[in-house]
Structure 1
């Protein structure tokens, strides 16, 4: 492949891997608007995030092994059709019950692209080239949190939350057209081997793989707490408009892009596991600062920096932890990617409603949940990842 062709493929794969951010970030600023229009509660509004995350999680665990057996292209095409249709149906949802159910279906469809995009990257590239292009893929992925909330806020200026899902349906159609011209990337010999047996037990007992997966998962869990709680925090407590909030959300997304690039640069000079540890430690400090700001007067300047760091450092933790995990199980990259995505989305599904259940009058619950996610990631590093990785490479 030419370099231009590789970059085009990575852009499409990065977009496919971004179904999580696309389904959540474009929608985040519209939660208060949707809550009022459908005459529902904040907790039920946040449940539309939870059901989407559950769909993203469940779908990945099934599509991973399937894509290792039959290939990546056909499942991806079918999922894009379902994603587009479900998005258009959500735009017509008459009440919160329909919205919750359709968000689950949308999550199921979106889960396929998340798995197959990373597996295709693993199929196409090896060694240092894989690490470089995987970081590029995740850099494309991290661009969407920058533009998605701004686009969502823009739609709210001219309409309501339903326009956001019409846009998601259009994105699904465009990706369907692009992927239609892709060739199958799974090597025939690997497909034959996977048809014989998917070593799920061996993957789940690979301590190095599980350790990297959990560290990455809990760092991403902090991001889900931010997604679920920041719109209520910044709009209801700090008085920001939906559009202003989307701009700040985009600003934090830019930080995630920058830190993804920074992580790639740091891993060229330092050990990957060390860079991952630095990211966790700085994120913990930012979470502690955010907790302390709850006792200060509610002024935006106090929370901008800790929120920026919490979101940005996911740009180091997520791609680096995931890449290190997938490297342990390259022969069944689809299944490995599915397990990583399953854990991350289950954590997100569990964390999102917790933020709302503990109240909307203060953002202390959100700050504490973020801190706990980062602290658990650190514990897994100290108690698991460091020891198992060192033993593995000896």
Structure 2
């Protein structure tokens, strides 16, 4: 268990409603059958406009993590429309391929629209798609509060989106936690090349260093390498460490690093998210900062539903909000991150400055290693 100014928060943890700042749902969700009207009024304008739609266009152009966590809103919308008749769903934009893996998409984007349609996505994408739409729904991660109901809090962003739309639509939708859909991995020549080169033999750890905010969120190659060395020592196993980085030069760079003790290191910089979605489920453990690729690792599973535990490292933002809600998606968080969780705050949105400058270095490789070993051995859930 991390002890150097950081705490472990398991993905299976149920948080009591009274433990953190929440907004009550206003109804006892567990006692209401799916498809039943809620005891609070629906948004009449929203439901009237959407009831005219038989098609949905999903369009996201923003950050990968924001997009993936917002797919719960897409799920809620399509489930509501499906109470009358299954809608036609198409995905557009740079993440269309990943979104298709969720099972929410029913038709290729090239197919022509045959009727009234709703657009759901982020603000930038909707501006391009909404001109001919009957209705547009913007997914803003700052908007939905942390809901509570049935005695528990629902802090993860997918739950916030799903329940917010359920309340506005005025009908108990069929979903239950976790509300984030999973993305199916696929057979991949990229994965087979790594396997044939021995990178998926034995103990394989993927560590994500890619981030849009490196000075705050990057755990660094050096710390991840030390972490892998400590894990290898405890497990007494030759370990493969896949260091997943961003695109500093706009391209893909794959390079082998000189071995470190009993750890072999492979740098995967700029590898497309589609390839990584096929790779992550074949690893034994994924560790990463609070970033879109870590969320991707948590949402991507093999077709049999299996996959590795995923451990997110949180320095400033809420460790509970910026997670998928899946029980295999865990967190190690600093005290500041936990305070953001408890008060449902955001250091950027609410302009909250830390009174210390520790950030990621509060989570030491030494304190993190035993936790990772426990996750690898199925001890912590």
Identify the TM-score tier after normalising by the shorter chain.
Answer: under 0.3
Which structure features the higher share of helix residues?
1
TM-score (norm. length: structure 1): 0.24
Which structure features the higher share of strand residues?
2
Relative contact order higher in (CA < 8 Å, ≥ 6 apart): 1
TM-score (norm. length: structure 2): 0.25
Structure index of larger Rg:
2
